[in-house]
Amino acid sequence: MSNKNLHFETKRIHSGYSSAEHFYAVNTPIYQTAGFDLGDIDRARRLWTGSEAGGIYSRVGNPTVSVLEERIKELDGGSAAIGVASGMAAITYTILLLGEGGGNIISASSLYGAAQESLTNFFPKFGITTKFVKNRNDVREYEALIDDNTKAVYLESISNPNAEIYDFEAIAEVAHKHGVPVVVDNTVATPYLFRPFEHGADIIVYSATKGLSGHGNTIAGLVVEKGDFKYSKERFPQFYQKSYKMRDLEGNPRTPLELAPNAPFVTSLRIFYLEFIGATLGAFDAFLVLQGLSTLTERMEKQVATTKKLVAYLETRKEVTWVRHPFAKDSNYKALAEKYFPNGAGAVFSFGFGGTREQFKEFIKALEIFSYHVNIGDVRSLIVNSPETTHAELAPELHELADIPGNLVRISVGLEHADDLITDLEQAFHKAFS
């Protein structure tokens, strides 16, 4: 049966894997090895020129990781994918490759803290600056910031921590009009809730640590390429530069576009960035992500359903000053959520704590089921004060730009029973405010 005819729920379990190619193992084996025998000198030459696929050295490719790469590629409908050591490695590799030689990124101004800080203060060290869109919902502002040196528009599909949603198709239309690719961090949504390539994205990045693996037991990242973006020679000369590392069997240097016309981006990441910087995804970590993917649908459906109940509950509490999620009564994102997220707009949201710092300290201390730590997408429900943790590195002006007030509390909904989570919040509010 053609993979194209399979449903998402089947692909998340079977895509990219044939047991006959792995000694008929039912589960993807963990290839815990640094290197692979090359066979003979002719095969070694074919491997190094890309004429034959196979293992060489696990820093740049491993069979367990390859299954994960193929699976996420299928789930997102892309042309190629690459696994890396973390979500931040995925973001960093992507920005560095697109911005080779210098340039600027147009970005929404409410992002995961480390991503926003890196765009603000780290990438400028490499000649890559960022223009943050102040009004994140105004497509005209994205277009107004694009110039001849713009290398990408960067968005989160569901922003962390405020659960904002943008008009992806409209933003992609203006970006493509100017020859600029769109990068979407799809970590919170996962491909079950949102498939960015179907709405104009060209590159997807993931922290697979979060919802994709879903159990809080591994660190991993992924980059997926759609494969049909037309990189201009003027804006992206790196894809037109011949390299001996990309040579053919006759020793002729090739460009990324000549070697892999439908995957020049991921190919460049593997041949240069993964090889030279080396943020490699280990085989065991890839195995853990694969295990998580096999239950992605059921996990996300339950987490979204519980999120709806928690949002409704928190909106009734006098100790809560506001709730931010498309499920919230006064959310400005309901229409966009209906358009882009028919299965639900994720299980991460924030609320305003309406008490003092001492009361918040008591509130956190009183919680018995919620875990106070900084991950998201876990089977456990997690709670954290983002301004002092996940977004603590951001300067006050960036907190204001990203709309992260000091009383913001972020919840990542797990798989516990909704009633137990509500009871836990209820008793914590009572102890904090009694």
Distances (CA, A) of 140 to 133, 159, 166, 167, 183: 10, 20, 13, 12, 18
Beta bridge partners of 80: 225
Residue 121 pLDDT exceeds 90: yes
Q: How confident is the model at residue 249 (pLDDT cuts 50, 70, 90)?
A: very high
- Check pLDDT > 70 for residue 426: yes
Q: Is the pLDDT of residue 1 over 80?
A: no
Give the whole-angstrom CA distance, residue 77 versus residue 202.
11
How much is the average pLDDT of 278-282?
97
pLDDT for position 185: 98
Which regions of the chain carry the CATH code 3.40.640.10? 3-292
Q: Please tell me the predicted confidence (pLDDT) of residue 228.
A: 97
pLDDT tens digits, 382-421: 999 999 999 999 999 999 999 999 999 999 999 999 999 9
Give CATH for domain 3-292. Answer: 3.40.640.10
Please check whether residue 302 is in contact with residue 193, taking contact to mean a CB–CB distance below 8 angstroms: no
Q: For residues 399 and 385, is the Cβ–Cβ distance under 8 A?
A: no
125-140, pLDDT tens digit by residue? 999 999 999 999 999 9
pLDDT tens for each residue of 314-360: 999 999 999 999 999 999 999 999 999 999 999 999 999 999 999 99
**Cα distance between residue 272 and residue 253, in whole Å:** 15
34-62 pLDDT tens trace:
999 999 999 999 999 999 999 999 999 99
Q: Calculate the average pLDDT of the chain.
A: 96
**Calpha distance 279→65 (Å, rounded):** 13
Range 145-158 average pLDDT: 98
Tokens of 220: 């991993």
For the chain, give the percent of residues with pLDDT over 70: 99
Order of strands across the sheet with 320-324?
Answer: 320-324, 348-353, 408-412, 382-384
C-alpha to C-alpha distance for 368 and 354, rounded to whole angstroms = 20
CATH 3.90.1150.10 intervals, the chain:
297-433
User: How would you list the strands of the sheet with 80-84, edge to edge?
Assistant: 80-84, 221-225, 203-207, 182-185, 150-156, 103-108, 128-133
Q: What is the mean pLDDT of residues 139-158?
A: 98
Percent of the chain with pLDDT over 90: 98
Q: Residue 37, exposed/middle/buried by CB under 10 A (0-12, 13-18, 19+)?
A: exposed
Closest among 258, 278, 239, 273 to 50, alpha carbons compared: 258
Minimal CA–CA distance to 375: which of 367, 366, 384, 387? 384
The pLDDT of residue 3 is: 65
The CATH fold of domain 297-433: Aspartate Aminotransferase, domain 1 (3.90.1150)
User: In the 8-state DSSP scheme, what is residue 20?
Assistant: G
pTM score, two decimals?
0.96
How confident is the model at residue 2, as a pLDDT? 55
3-class SS at 382? Answer: strand
Say yes or no to pLDDT of 69 above 90.
Answer: yes
Distances (CA, A) of 156 to 207, 318, 334, 367, 423: 12, 31, 17, 30, 32
Angle made by CA atoms 117, 380, 161, in degrees to the nearest 5: 30
Neighbours of 434 (CB within 10 A): 7
Please give the C-alpha separations between residue 149 and each of 163, 218, 265, 387, in angstroms, as whole numbers: 30, 37, 18, 33
Residue 209 pLDDT: 98
Q: Is the pLDDT of residue 17 over 60?
A: yes
